[in-house]
Amino acid sequence: MLQELVKFFINPVLQFFLLILIFIIKKRPNRIFIGFVLYFYIVSIPITGILFHYVWKLEDSYNANKRYDCVIVLTGGVSHQWYLQESVSETLPFNFENYFMFNHAAERFFKGIDLVNSGQVKQLFYGNYVPKSKLGSFDTSELVKRFAMQNGLSENQFIIYGNSVKNTLDEASQFKEHIKNKSLENILLITSESHMRRARGLFNNQSIFFDTYSVQKRELFNKNMFMIKNYVPSIRGLRLTKSSFYEFFGFFGYLFTGKL
């Protein structure tokens, strides 16, 4: 109990609001100041981001009784900064290139690999994603392919397409180019739940249509709406709101530029 109480009060966002509350009690702030505090409260509580993602998500159209020609797994899931850092630091007592450092988005290709291994999907398509920085570059697609092959896929079941894709728009346009002479009728797309609406729009705009399967699914809103912690300002709340803004403004940015 004491540990949880300490965690509660060391939250820097909560501390900020306590200071603001003291200021309000001691002085009479104007409406602009109160509006600013109210806005910051709304964007820093987890329930705001949770509600957005609940409304924003798309229901899966994946059909368990269908055999798909291919699954497009959107890139992400590899902690490429770790590889880039270790390529120059040389501090590890082992060869870092022999190991896999993934993040939560790795659920995307985990599910894709699972569907190919089950026989429900013939091939997995993954964009050629090679992030670059001042430290150099790292081919994440080859790493994911190696992981997939260690987990049951054959060489011709994991297809890397495109040329140094940088974002979902690149993945959509370069996938269209890659399959222009191929006959693929039943296609499945896998990405994170919060990202699916934007991804589907970008691919559909390239006249690529498919069933969808979302990973990194969030808990039901009904399970979260009665939790007090979701109404307390926190770093988690800010992160959820930031990811909500990223998807919302990213979607409408592409929409206004005619790419959706």
- Judged against a pLDDT cut of 80, whether residue 209 lies above it is answered with yes
Kindly state whether residues 48 and 8 are assigned to the same domain. Answer: yes
In a domain, 222, yes or no: no
**Whole domain around residue 8: which residue ranges?**
2-57+229-256
pLDDT tens-digit map of 144-186: 999 999 999 999 999 999 999 999 999 999 999 999 988 898 9
pLDDT tens-digit map of 134-154: 888 899 999 999 999 999 999
Kindly state whether residues 101 and 40 are assigned to the same domain. Answer: no
Kindly state whether residues 49 and 82 are assigned to the same domain. Answer: no
Structure-block tokens of residue 65 = 């009784």
In a domain, 63, yes or no: no
> Tell me, what's the pLDDT at 104?
94
In angstroms, what CA-CA distances link 180 with 103, 165, 174? 32, 18, 10
In a domain, 251, yes or no: yes
Q: How many domains does one find in the chain?
A: 2
pLDDT tens-digit map of 63-93: 999 999 999 999 999 999 888 887 767 777 7
Which domain CATH number covers 152?
A: 3.40.50.620
**DSSP E strands, 66-194:** 68-73, 121-127, 132-133, 136-137, 158-161, 187-192
In a domain, 62, yes or no: no
In a domain, 221, yes or no: no
In a domain, 15, yes or no: yes
Kindly state whether residues 75 and 204 are assigned to the same domain. Answer: yes
